[in-house]
Amino acid sequence: MRRLLEAEQLTALVQIDSAGTGDWHVGHPPDRRAREAGSRRGLDVRGPARRVTTEDFDYFDYLIVMDHSNLADLRELAPHEEAHGKIQLLRDFDPHSPQDAEVPDPYYGEGDGFETVLDICEAACRGLLQHIRERHRL
């Protein structure tokens, strides 16, 4: 998403961050395989992991999740009803993705799982950017 925002010169208008719903990786860098897959595409996959906070619901317009487990976790964490409307599956923004589809977790897989996930995320992020452009008139 960062690369798409940079290409469209929208980094000053759209702020993004990444956070998890669990605390088991807080403070650690991204998985080595994710960093390597990103590096092969010229993506900078870095930064310490952090956990979603209730303040994120007030700060961000969107809380985008990869799967139904994260969706349920954030719905439970949401501090108020309006916050529920900010939570959405990433693949919902990809018009070519099946409805209600998840981004598969490549963590325990082998082979090109991280490459496949990058393909899926890139397609969905293009759709998310289009949605943001239309909704926020950018």
* pLDDT value for 33: 86
pLDDT per residue as tens digits for the range 26-61: 989 888 888 888 899 988 888 898 999 999 999 999
CB-based contact 27:16 (threshold 8 Å): no
Question: Distance (Å, rounded) from C-alpha 101 to C-alpha 65?
Answer: 11
Mean pLDDT (the chain, rounded): 93
Residues 6+ apart with CB under 8 A from 131: 93
Residues 6+ apart with CB under 8 A from 43: 2, 3, 118
More confident residue, 35 or 92: 92
Total structural domains in the chain?
1
Question: Distance (Å, rounded) from C-alpha 54 to C-alpha 122?
Answer: 27
Q: What is the CATH number of the domain that holds 35?
A: 3.40.50.2300
- pLDDT grade, residue 102 (50/70/90)? very high
Residue 114: which domain range? 2-136
Q: Give this prediction's pTM.
A: 0.90
Residues 6+ apart with CB under 8 A from 113: 33, 104, 106
* pLDDT value for 111: 67
